Chains A and B, each alone.
Chain A
């Protein structure tokens, strides 16, 4: 546990030692503001809620989280430090968890920096705090799931570009199978509604949507946590396989 924490500390320091952290934070805040106010029509909607803010997150994360996740292992492999890490007296799961949590904490920091958004809403009106809180929880869980997936693709390669593109595609799939235009299309093509339903349940959209509405269902939390667990477990296998 202590060693996991040392890895977390080292990783977080390395984010903030490089321009990546600042570029990411600025772009994340700019884009989330842009989508909420310009594309989402926040003011026109005339309601004191953050629906217009959260609804963009699955798409925003799809592009930005792989940018954080792509370096997790590809960078270690390219620099040769993976050899150092693997020969230190620490278990693979400690290393994997440490690197994952560092990235997740960083994404959490990015999310916390959007707090002026709910503060603005509170100033302008009297929003229902429930959906805002569950929206934040859901958004944080979703970023963790995306991060774990990009970490997994990162473990497969030493090339960060390949890692980035693969994880964007995987995340895109996870979004699309639950995106109404796509599910409707599938139904029109004659897919059985059970199958489409099953696919939609696999999508982050489905689980994040209920959280945006203020429902904190244990099933949604379990979904995100198991997605993270699965991706981290696969990372372990990929890392082991890749060395032999």
Chain B
């Protein structure tokens, strides 16, 4: 549904987006990750046609964004960063305005506005002017605007920003539900969100695409992934270390710590798919050592995120 081909964006002599290509199909929720200032918002703004790209092309539902802007723009709903909305309008008035802009009228318009108000829980503030709303309500008003016309594509720039934990949870459920029959791009820097809703992740760092895969694949890139953690009782530390080090599948360094009178050991794997956990269990069983914990680590997203994005982006401010 969305196809970004070799997007570049220069601000003056500064390259902000550097050869980014990806696709999003129907039924996919794509998590768009990256440190602040990595070019996430700039890329989204190019996808929605707000910023012209320096080179490259965008296809929305098979229509070229530059050649057929109106057709393309009618196919998506967009929640910009910071959820802007006309402050002087009422929630209902604002939604009716955007519905008219989406070529809805009469009964269809009323139904669309009503449905969006119900979906986003805006019933209690529908007659209120937007500048009197709290951040959470304002955010949901802008979100309502994006889903109003039931578009096949949603582009959401930090959709849970400024929401309280309950609202965040609800927003994620909503996105997940809508993701079943829409193509959705969600930018975020909250990693738990990626786990919760995304079927695929791309990471962009300093304007470059550095990762494109599923959350599971991303986790697998972690140094911890595939390693095994055990918790053993009634054994001395040197003894346990010696046994573990003799297992050929175990990588280095093996870490053994004493926690609350028990030994907790973390053993990285030597190579992928080595069956490390089974080997360790066999060794422990052979010696009849009691263990109350043994599991394979799945890796942590934030480790991977830190590993593949650079730290010096604090000075690399996003333009505009």
Q: Which residues of A contact B (CB under 8 A)?
A: 3, 6, 10, 13-14, 17-18, 79-81, 83-84, 86-91, 240, 243-244
Contacts and interface: CB of A to CB of B under 8 A. Distances in A.
A113 to B, nearest CB: 22
Interface of A is mostly: helix
Given A6-B100, A10-B89, A10-B97, A87 B84 contact: no
B101 A89 contact: yes
Interface residues of B, number: 30
Interface stretch (B47-55, B188-196, B211-219, B304-312): B47-55
Interface of B: 45, 48-52, 69-71, 73-74, 78, 80, 82, 84-89, 93, 97-98, 100-103, 129, 142, 145
A81 B85 contact: yes
A17 B89 contact: yes
A58 B268 CA distance: 81
- List 7 A-B pairs, minimum CB-CB distance, nearest first: A80-B84, A89-B73, A89-B74, A87-B48, A83-B80, A17-B88, A6-B100
B82 A81 contact: no
A240 B69 CA distance: 14
Contacts, number: 67
Contacts of B52: 240, 243-244
Nearest to A15: B88
Contacts of A90: 70, 101
B84 A6 contact: no
Contacts of B71: 89
Given A14-B88, A83-B84, 6 more contacts: A79-B86, A80-B80, A84-B80, A84-B142, A86-B50, A88-B73
A86 B46 CA distance: 11
A3 B70 CA distance: 12
Given A89-B73, A89-B101, A90-B70, A14 B89 contact: yes
A86 B73 CA distance: 9
29 contacts: A3-B101, A6-B101, A10-B86, A10-B89, A13-B89, A79-B84, A79-B87, A83-B45, A83-B80, A84-B78, A84-B98, A86-B49, A86-B50, A87-B50, A87-B78, A87-B80, A88-B73, A88-B98, A88-B101, A89-B69, A89-B70, A89-B101, A89-B102, A89-B103, A91-B70, A240-B52, A243-B52, A244-B51, A244-B52
A67 to B, nearest CB: 17
A89 B129 CA distance: 25
Nearest to A244: B52
